[in-house]
Amino acid sequence: MDSAERAAVFDVDGTLVDTNHLHVVAWWEALRQAGHQVPMHAVHRAVGLPSTDLVAHLLGDSRDQGQDAGISAAHKALYGQYVDRLPALPGAGPLLRRLHREGWAVVLATSAGGAELSALRRAVDADDAITATASADDVDEGKPSPEPVEHALELAGVHAERAVFVGDTVWDMLAGSRAGVRCVGLLCGGIPRADLEESGAAAVYADPAHLLSALRDSPLA
């Protein structure tokens, strides 16, 4: 397989940058301000969905949809307090650079966009290894729709059977599987191994550093 024929597609939040629990707190508070008491464990399992879908998933179709935009705006403002100090997960940058050196087209597929995506990329600090980014600004539907992963493959010019998608949530695994891509799950986002495997993960690792150390025996070998 030559260098132009394979792609490593990565989710960012919770996969490369340690942000999931910051999102949980920001969403919990945004929902509380709007008068909704939603358990944090439920919020955690919804993280990774696009904003509107996350609110719908947590509050249901019978909610006052007129609140949706305000809840999302509150989350954005609350989460924005942290964007200048987002921590990369161990091994995130080195993993991307290693794959780039070995001929993989490294593409990010994330529901983040704009300034938030810029902050995430600064945290990872591996722009030299990133071929392209498929962000929320580029697609009509976010995960678990396959569209973000399919768009990432289009940017890389790689067929699904020549790609691997790495993510940390059930939504990531479902999106990758629906796109026909082999999926790798990471536990650093806080989702149990069994849930990732049930949703399509072919292999599961603790975090980017663990995947990097086990690369030769992984789907990214």
The tens digit of pLDDT for each residue in 47-87 reads 999 999 999 999 999 999 999 999 999 999 999 999 999 99
Q: For residues 55 and 61, what is the distance between their CA atoms, to the nearest angstrom?
A: 10
Q: For residues 106 and 93, what is the distance between their CA atoms, to the nearest angstrom?
A: 11
Q: Using 50, 70 and 90 to split pLDDT, how confident is the model at 135?
A: confident
Taking only the tens place, the pLDDT of each residue in 164-190 is 999 999 999 999 999 999 999 999 999
Domain boundaries, the chain: 3-19+86-217, 20-84
Q: For residues 220 and 218, what is the distance between their CA atoms, to the nearest angstrom?
A: 5
Architecture of the domain whose range is 20-84: Orthogonal Bundle (1.10)
pTM for the whole structure: 0.96
Between residues 138 and 177, the one the model is more confident about: 177
The CATH class given to the 3-19+86-217 domain equals alpha beta
Q: For residues 220 and 198, what is the distance between their CA atoms, to the nearest angstrom?
A: 20
- List the strands of the sheet with 105-109, edge to edge: 130-134, 105-109, 7-10, 163-167, 182-186, 201-205
